[in-house]
Amino acid sequence: MPNVSRKKVLVGLSGGVDSAVSAYLLLKAGYEVEGAFMKNWSSTAGLKVQDCPWLQDRQEALRVAAHLGIKLHTLDFEKQYSKNVMDYFFREYKAGRTPNPDVMCNKEIKFKLLYNFAMKNGFDYLATGHYARSEGTKPRSGRALRPTTGARADYRLLRSRDEFKDQTYFIYNIKPEQLPHILFPIGGMKKTEVKKLAKKIGLPNANRKESMGLCFVGKIRLKDFLKQKVKAKPGKIMLGLRAKVVGLSRTQRSSDLALNPIRYTLLGRHSGLHNYTIGQRQGIAVGGKGGPYYVIRKDLKKNILYVTADANDPGLEVSEVELHSTNWISEEGLRAKGIGLSKKGSGINLALSPITYTLTARYRHQGKLVPCSLEKLGKDQYKVKFKTPQKALASGQSVVLYSGKVCLGGGVIA
């Protein structure tokens, strides 16, 4: 068993139970532990007066640090968060896409700024309370919290033991060279076990409810938050009507579209295209005019929102998507699928190949893993083909790919 008493770990303390238990487990394993609280967003515009999350979160982080007897650093990343996360968030919605601020926050803040702070200030590892696991291709000896010693092969990012809470979808942008310096102490635990342990050791935030708001912003309706930066431009809602085709399979029904063209009728007015995403059912306010309706397309040039009343409308389904802004983590995992590799800089790139390989994909957090194949089209351009058509995928969403339990990486839908 390696001696970890001299190894320093910076653990991101958010004020929540998961990161607090992570810090406790690291201390118990023998690491020298310090905490870091990130101040990322202090604006209360559009928020309830009593809901200023960063102050409440920092207070909880201070209580946890005092309880565990560790030092707490408070790091002000607000300027970078505003530029790299929130400006991106508003820009994408304004362009009609559906961004994921949690993915961008992990990419630009936690595993860039916080990670760099840890590495530049004498820490051997950065630890977070994410439900995920990492390991070298040469198995770690002893407990999962112990680092691999000796020569290291490639590291892999794996889904957590708690499949429902798994957060690899949010952290697929971790760089492969970072993984040997990142610890996920609760990745091998169930959420119920984490909460039980927090109460057992008397953590001051053991009964704190889990935050479900926008990343580091707080509990707020997305529509209300977007009003701050995206000017509403009302327009037409058009309902697509098609004569019902009876007795045809989904494939036949799709091929019949040319012979059965859509007729559009004005259904109502929308409040701005940025307020809607593909497949959305709730919030299409058209009064008592039947329904339910589903968003099927957004025409940004004409400012028209197209909807359908058919939950099985072929227009809601896609069989393939193209990705950009990709990040590939596991060289070993990709090679296991026979995918050729070439290295450029510090990242991993798939070598150009017309062959596709069977994997699984997830295109939203806690969504189902669906069979797919991957094909490289060109520089940083990839095509994911689904074995069966998938519903309600939107430009701007992330698609994350897996080989078994291993998270290979992913990208953003074009």
The two three-digit tokens of residue 200, written as one number: 């057992």
In whole angstroms, what is the distance from residue 194 CA to residue 201 CA? 11
Same domain, 211 and 336: no
In degrees rounded to 5, what are phi and psi of residue 237? -105, 120
In angstroms, the CA 48 to CA 71 distance is: 31
For residues 372 and 240, membership in a common domain is answered with: no
| CA Rg value for the chain | 23
* Structural domain total, the chain: 3
Q: Answer whether 334's CB lies under 8 Å from 409's CB.
A: no
CB 241 within 8 A of CB 264: yes
Q: Are strands 370-378 and 381-391 parallel, antiparallel or unpaired?
A: antiparallel
Q: Note whether residue 185 is domain-resident.
A: yes
Residue 32's domain comprises: 8-224
Measured distance CA(13)–CA(37) in Å, rounded: 5
Q: How far apart are CA 110 and CA 296, in angstroms?
A: 35
The predicted model scores a pTM of: 0.84
Beta strand 357-362 with 398-403 is antiparallel
113 near 82, Cβ under 8 Å? Answer: no
> Torsion-angle region of residue 279: left (phi > 0), alpha (psi -120 to 50) or beta?
left
Domain assignment present for 244: yes
Domain of residue 281, CATH code: 2.30.30
Q: Note down pLDDT in tens along the chain; length 414 residues.
A: 345 667 999 999 999 999 999 999 999 999 999 999 999 887 655 444 445 578 888 999 999 999 999 999 999 999 999 999 989 999 999 898 999 999 999 999 999 999 999 999 999 999 999 999 998 864 443 344 655 443 344 789 999 999 999 999 999 999 999 999 999 999 999 999 999 999 999 999 998 887 655 555 555 667 777 777 788 899 999 998 765 544 445 554 445 544 556 789 999 999 899 989 999 988 887 766 677 899 999 999 999 999 999 888 888 999 999 999 999 997 555 555 555 444 443 345 555 444 455 799 999 999 999 999 998 888 888 999 999 999 989 999 999 999 999 999 999 999
Q: Is residue 44 part of a domain?
A: yes
| Tokens read off for 212 | 């479900």
Active site residues: 105, 215
The answer to whether residue 331 is domain-embedded is yes
Instruction: Verify that 370 and 403 share a domain, yes or no.
Output: yes
Structural domain includes residue 230: no
183 and 331 in a single domain? The answer is: no
Per DSSP, the three-state class of 284 is: coil
